[in-house]
Amino acid sequence: VKANDMKIDEIVGGVIQGDRSLLARAITLIESNAPHHFERAQEMLNNLLPHAGKSIRIGITGVPGAGKSTFIEAFGQMLCEKGHRVAVLAVDPSSTMTGGSILGDKTRMENLVKHPNAFVRPSPSGGTLGGVHRKTRETIALCEAAGYDVILIETVGVGQSEVIVRGMVDFFMLLVLTGAGDELQGMKKGIMELADAIVVNKADGDNLSRALKTKSEYNQILHFLQPATKGWETEAYTCSSLQGDGIEDMWNVIGKFVTETTKSGGFQTRRKTQAREWLNSSIADQLHQHFLQNQAVKDILPQIMEDVMEEKRTVSSAVELLFAKYTGRGF
């Protein structure tokens, strides 16, 4: 029986009981781009929302090669062994173009995927980044309703993906390699200022002393930046996903973060702000699409855009003209 054919309350009940196979099918329903699945998915979600929200949402980013998968494997296993239930999701902008996925290859986390407390799901593929965004946020809610209390969301640093992930997590971690100076020059603008922790990975063997040096270089730079979370000092740490060193320490750092921001109220405030901003940006996206699909707008927009770009027409008069067409009247 496909989730698409099942009764909503059966799926809802199964997810709440932590049935992994029903959870997977529920996610598939959310990921469906078929319009007739949308109503079912939303009904299911609105029934599951009262059971969601009770997790720590952690974002993890870093350039390719920074060791995100091995870190998540080590970090996730450590949490599972402590009795936590860990869901691993991904936001992968490249999947919107190629249909492929950074987490498609589950063998990258072969030990973690076998653990009964872990649930690993590749990035939804196809569609727009906005679609991936929505599906990931709704998948978080499903996983929480299914009892996962730690949600790890991996992303590669492409396009706006870090900003999107920062907007859906409580704690955001940037994984880096040794050689801060060199790496920083290739690093995207503003990304360090999104992070609650910078983790210098692969701090083992011959690389250890360089990793410690890199950590202190990052700490020097962080000193000059405003922290991502008010009242929390972003610091650099080292870890070895291979040896396990520093992995549990990162969990303690996150625990301290949650305790302090819950006490100050910042934790709940951020979640509310994130929800509000997501609604506002979704409304803006929908308005934009509605506008671009208008035939009268379609007919004149290319020429108007050209005129504005050549500074032959003012933006004000362009907007006026477009809106007169859009609304079918002057305004």
Binding site for a copy of itself (CB under 8 A): 38, 41-42, 45-46, 49-50, 52-53, 134, 137-138, 141, 181, 184-185, 187-190, 193, 221, 223-226, 271-272, 275-276, 278-279, 282-284, 286-288, 290-291, 304-305, 308-320, 322-323, 327
Nearer to a copy of itself, 105 or 193 (CB): 193
Nearer to a copy of itself, 92 or 138 (CB): 138
Nearer to a copy of itself, 256 or 276 (CB): 276
d(CA 108, CA 73): 8
Tokens found for residue 330: 């002057």
| Residue 49 C-beta: closest distance to a copy of itself, Å | 6
Per-residue DSSP letter, 231: T
Number of neighbouring beta carbons within 10 Å of residue 217:
18
| Residue 88 C-beta: closest distance to a copy of itself, Å | 21
| Residue 119 C-beta: closest distance to a copy of itself, Å | 20
Nearer to a copy of itself, 232 or 251 (CB): 232
List helix spans (H) across the chain: 8-16, 20-31, 35-48, 68-81, 93-98, 110-114, 129-145, 161-166, 180-186, 208-222, 247-264, 266-292, 295-309, 315-327
**The amino acid at 195:** A
| Residue 309 C-beta: closest distance to a copy of itself, Å | 4
| Residue 110 C-beta: closest distance to a copy of itself, Å | 33
CB 195 within 8 A of CB 218: no
Nearer to a copy of itself, 107 or 224 (CB): 224
Nearer to a copy of itself, 2 or 189 (CB): 189
| Long-range contacts (CB closer than 8 Å, 24 or more residues apart) made by 23-32 | 23/119, 23/142, 23/143, 23/146, 24/121, 26/142, 27/121, 27/139, 27/142, 28/3, 29/3, 29/4, 30/135, 30/138, 30/139, 30/142, 31/124, 31/135, 32/4
| Residue 69 C-beta: closest distance to a copy of itself, Å | 27
